Structure 1
Amino acid sequence: MVKQILTGLAILVAGFAVAQQKRPNILIIISDDHAFQTISAYGSKLTQTPAIDRIAKEGMLFNRAYVTNSICGPSRAVLLTGRYSHKNGFKDNVSGRFDSSQHTFIKDLTRSGYQTAWIGKWHLESAPQGFSYWKVLPGQGSYFNPDFIKMDNSRERINGYATTIIEDIAENWLDGRDTSKPFCLVIGHKATHRTWMPDIQDIGRFDTVNFPLPSNFYDQYQGRRAAAVQDMTVDKTMIMGYDLKMFPSKEAADKEGSIRRMTPEQRAAFDAYYGAIKQDLDRRGLTGKELVEWKYQRYMRDYLATAASLDRNIGRALDYLDRHKLTENTLVVYLSDQGFYMGEHGWFDKRFMYEESFRTPMVMRFPKMIQPGRVDSSLVMNLDLAPTMLELAGVKSTEKLQGQSLLPLLKESNYKGRKNLYYHYYENGEHAVSPHFGISNGRYKLIRFYKRVEGWELYDMQTDSSEMNNLYGKAGYEKISRKLKKELSGMIRRYEDQEALQIIEQPVFPAAF
């Protein structure tokens, strides 16, 4: 009898292990400030991104994926919690600190038997909780020879380039995992965050390319007061030394911690490359628009060279899944924490609800469910990933989430997508971007700015995709303005955004509509 009981228990345990193995694995790769305009799967001619393109080709590309708050830390907090910034408490990078004790989808997965890990950029100002394993960069982290915070809160410096090192650590964790259990791994890349520092092997990769100026590079911001007062232009804000490595001397470069931490070999290559560019710049004596456009070319070359390593290491992650026969049963998601300006409106950075920063690249692959080569134009948000991961894993959340599971969309079965998107940006400091919230239905976008600038903006994305012509208050747009205001008010109440609710009820000139 005892033998029979033990045999039965062994069968149960083995059956549980098999069931666990059949549960889907999840790999989320999140980058920083990676513009969809620079990804060839999205039609970019600026560069090629074969690894990201591979995910899209073998899975699906989301053509209208957006974020709730276009800034680094808050975007990650939304990803983890499936709740807007005003609900998870991390609204901005200045005063924000993520309360790691709160509910996250990771905690639900860990509780249900998943092995969970976050490796790389975290940027939430608190230690991760609820993960089986974590190893994260402090703050923004460094591109060269980065420090990592370990689970015992000690620090370790690893020589090399951050993007490659993060992938190395991720693969090492996968090598040591319990293969009888499913995993959820988040790889958080520092790339392509400012300041853009390419891997040594990628330096100069785009030096022979002359990038076309965006058509609105010399935008004068007529009718858009918030755009007019910002401080994020390539012309006036981009710093010759800090951003473009055009230092007046070696001593000046030494003051930058990101450079000072380089090995002698890295520093020699760095100095040789940027030193020659600086000598050429001094010889040419550029001023006015010639200098501005020179800065733009340098920005693009460094940014895209930094992104080259990102794509290469995403390719390594895909190859790892192939080698270990994990591809078929692993959902792979690639996205950025927000979009980024590549000279549109004369800008770099993000923050605004304008399309380039509001919209994020997002591609998914899951051979068991997603037909290859799909392109979807549903309105989706980073808010939706938490409920999607839980439903895919067959796990019920212990908390109410504000996102909407995309699983029916992935299955192509009765997906009722969003009619509208709600956005709220809070920070009132960096780059002088005025706080604002708004609504977009894909065609029209209505934005309410407050604090720094008080006012409304309305755009017709069908006729003005570059968002140059503010239609708010103009004849003929009264009806759509009223309609969107009513819908915006409804979304604010549904998402329980009390700050926005107080503001939207305040009159602001022009008072019409």
Structure 2
Amino acid sequence: MNKIVAFIWSLLVIFSCKTPGEEYQKPNIIIILSDDHTQQAISAYGSTLTQTPNIDRIAHEGVIFNRAYVNNSICGPSRAAILTGKYSHKNGYKDNENSFYDSGQDQFVNHLQAYGYRTAWIGKYHLGKNPKGFDYWEILPGQGHYYNPDFIQMDGSTVRKEGYVSDLIQDAAERWLDDRNDDSPFCLIVGHKATHRTWMPDLEDLGRFDDIQYPLPDNFYDNYEGREAAKVQDMSIAETMLLDYDLKMYPEDTRDINVTRMNAAQRDQFDTYYRAIHKDLINADLTGKTLTEWKFQRYMRDYLATAASMDRNIGRLLDYLDGNGLADNTIVIYLSDQGFYLGEHGWFDKRFMYEESFRTPMVMRYPGVIEAGSISDDLVMNIDLAPTILDAARIEIPAAMQGESFLPVLTNSQASGRDALYYHYYENGEHAVSPHFGVKTDRYKLMRFYNRVESWELFDLENDPSEMNNVYGQEAYVAVEKEMKERLLGLMEKYEDEEAIEIFNLPTELDINRK
């Protein structure tokens, strides 16, 4: 997409919303960022697993993005990409194990500040302990905790707050909104801990979905034929999901800090619920697939119950905007830091470039600019958020930002968006997912795994949407393979990913044998 033309289009649309001589009122911006939520668990995306009325409300009053994706499917790197509008190799935060995030680098919030915006980040940050670019912040240390979480304050102190994390984050967001002492436009990022492992529901949601029997995904018992990296991963419900840590089947003397930090009343209600389930499990003496499928049901119930509290608090925030006369001039964006597996391929977690984790839920409300009930099938990415927000605020988009504003494709039917997406995942430790990079177009996806596993994978998404059949090396796809490699190399060069280019030029064993 021609960035200059796109920018002009977006300005024309925004100007058209004002009468001649009327001064432009910069929109307020709220970004609600969840952790490990996924399209499969949102009713606006057609999910029948649960209902998410408040996320759905944003979609119904604005636009739902059917094809929103991330640069790197893991918590910290995704947040870094959102703030900087850059890929991981450019913003310096490639993984959660070895990277350090320089919060002093150029971020979209710095530009908002320079143009008079008040900025704040409240909740899960996961990029260190000293956010910059914010007039106010109050963040969870690292992953934080669901019950009675600690919050790092701007003076460096840590305060423990009693209650459930989703409620407390919303409380803090409302306090900050209440305490604003002028009419300056604002940008508030609300970082929810939900729905990150270990999926601990609010007490009022315990048992919420216990009467539901969730269907196993069609590829729950995937054997990973033809996908070498998938064969060696360590993120399966059968083998990796822990009965105690993940599913709360604790011994009575557990020292798990997720539980021991509860007060007596919380602990009593929590134990009463989970110990009854644990007793039934012991009596059932399950093994093999029967045990695996029991784990899947417990996982789904806890995961979706954890999401329920977050959705409820998103509703609180929307109601706050309504009640304080802020709704009409506030952009509200909800998205997750990446998608997540709900049993597809037998997995939980994320990381892979397969659709369930590469794709992220995203909905956006922008009254007066985006028509209510809009549906976007354009390819967009998390790196596009920063330039889009600056575009909406009429602030020049820095040339170093690699994302592109998606306002034009939402407001001009003649505008065209991306025709391909680039992805690069680096971490080579937890869950044994091999680093890889790749390209996705409307129909095809090509991935190159390296370090742990050296292999290529090619998928025809039109004929194989679940990505079960790796057609790399098959004669019928030789031309597609060549074209996709050219597309991949072109994107790596465009985004200046030199490390990936070097790996791209190294042949795998299959490539050598074919010669």
> TM-score, normalised on structure 1?
0.95
**Does structure 2 conserve the Cα–Cα contact (< 8 Å) formed by 1:97 and 1:126?**
no
Q: Aligned ranges for residues 173-322 of structure 1 at < 5 Å?
A: 173-247=176-250, 249-251=251-253, 253=254, 255-322=255-322
Matched, 1:486 2:486: yes
One-letter amino acid matched to 2:421: L
Cα deviation for residue 23 of structure 1 reads: 0.9
Q: Aligned ranges for residues 366-385 of structure 1 at < 5 Å?
A: 366-385=366-385
3-state DSSP class of the match of 1:328? Answer: helix
One-letter amino acid matched to 1:358: F
Q: Which position in structure 1 is the counterpart of 2:90?
A: 87
One-letter amino acid matched to 2:256: E
Structure 1 stretch displaced more, 338-347 or 92-101: 92-101
Cα deviation for residue 191 of structure 1 reads: 0.1
Q: Which position in structure 2 is the counterpart of 1:456?
A: 456
Where does the alignment leave 5 or more consecutive residues of structure 1 unmatched? 1-17
Whole-angstrom CA distance in 2 between matches of 1:25 and 1:447 = 39
Q: Deviations over 1:45-93 (max 9, x none)?
A: 0000000110111100000000000000000000000000000000000
Whole-angstrom CA distance in 2 between matches of 1:99 and 1:135 = 18
Whole-angstrom CA distance in 1 between matches of 2:135 and 2:496 = 33
One-letter amino acid matched to 2:341: Y
Q: Which position in structure 1 is the counterpart of 2:10?
A: none
**Does structure 2 conserve the Cα–Cα contact (< 8 Å) formed by 1:232 and 1:238?**
yes
One-letter amino acid matched to 1:375: I
Cα deviation for residue 173 of structure 1 reads: 0.3
One-letter amino acid matched to 1:372: A
Q: Which position in structure 2 is the counterpart of 1:66?
A: 69
Cα deviation for residue 19 of structure 1 reads: 5.6
Q: Deviations over 1:410-443 (max 9, x none)?
A: 3225422001000000000010000000000021
Measured on the aligned residues, the alpha-carbon RMSD in Å equals 1.1
**Does structure 2 conserve the Cα–Cα contact (< 8 Å) formed by 1:30 and 1:336?**
yes
**Does structure 1 conserve the Cα–Cα contact (< 8 Å) formed by 2:376 and 2:410?**
no
Q: Deviations over 1:434-481 (max 9, x none)?
A: 000000002100000000000100001111111000000012100000
Where does the alignment leave 5 or more consecutive residues of structure 2 unmatched? 1-21
Whole-angstrom CA distance in 2 between matches of 1:265 and 1:406 = 48
Q: Deviations over 1:5-58 (max 9, x none)?
A: xxxxxxxxxxxxx968x2100000000000110100000000000001101111
**Does structure 2 conserve the Cα–Cα contact (< 8 Å) formed by 1:383 and 1:402?**
yes
Q: Deviations over 1:297-330 (max 9, x none)?
A: 0000000000000100011111011001111111
Q: Deviations over 1:260-317 (max 9, x none)?
A: 1001010000100000000001111111111000000000000000000010001111
**Does structure 1 conserve the Cα–Cα contact (< 8 Å) formed by 2:74 and 2:95?**
yes
**Does structure 2 conserve the Cα–Cα contact (< 8 Å) formed by 1:122 and 1:136?**
yes
Whole-angstrom CA distance in 1 between matches of 2:377 and 2:441 = 12
One-letter amino acid matched to 1:29: I
One-letter amino acid matched to 1:136: I
Cα deviation for residue 409 of structure 1 reads: 2.0
Cα deviation for residue 406 of structure 1 reads: 1.0
3-state DSSP class of the match of 1:304? Answer: helix
Give me the identity figure in percent: 60
Matched, 1:29 2:32: yes
One-letter amino acid matched to 1:366: Y
Aligned match for 1:50, one of 49, 53, 56: 53
Whole-angstrom CA distance in 1 between matches of 2:414 and 2:133 = 33
Whole-angstrom CA distance in 2 between matches of 1:414 and 1:30 = 30
Q: Which position in structure 2 is the counterpart of 1:412?
A: 412
CA shift in 2, pair 1:19/1:110, >3 Å = farther
3-state DSSP class of the match of 1:119? Answer: strand
Q: Which position in structure 1 is the counterpart of 2:391?
A: 391
Whole-angstrom CA distance in 2 between matches of 1:35 and 1:291 = 25
Matched, 1:444 2:447: no
One-letter amino acid matched to 2:97: V
Q: Aligned ranges for residues 491-506 of structure 1 at < 5 Å?
A: 491-506=491-506
Matched, 1:402 2:399: no
One-letter amino acid matched to 2:332: V
3-state DSSP class of the match of 1:491? Answer: helix
Matched, 1:99 2:107: no
3-state DSSP class of the match of 2:96? Answer: coil
Whole-angstrom CA distance in 2 between matches of 1:19 and 1:160 = 44
Q: Which position in structure 2 is the counterpart of 1:132?
A: 135
Give every structure 1 segment of 4 or more consecutive aligned residues whose post-TM-superposition deviation is greater than 3 Å: none
**Does structure 2 conserve the Cα–Cα contact (< 8 Å) formed by 1:58 and 1:372?**
yes
Whole-angstrom CA distance in 2 between matches of 1:456 and 1:369 = 43
3-state DSSP class of the match of 2:49? Answer: coil
CA shift in 2, pair 1:38/1:287, >3 Å = same
**Does structure 2 conserve the Cα–Cα contact (< 8 Å) formed by 1:98 and 1:126?**
no
3-state DSSP class of the match of 2:509? Answer: coil
3-state DSSP class of the match of 1:217? Answer: coil
One-letter amino acid matched to 1:115: R
Cα deviation for residue 121 of structure 1 reads: 0.1
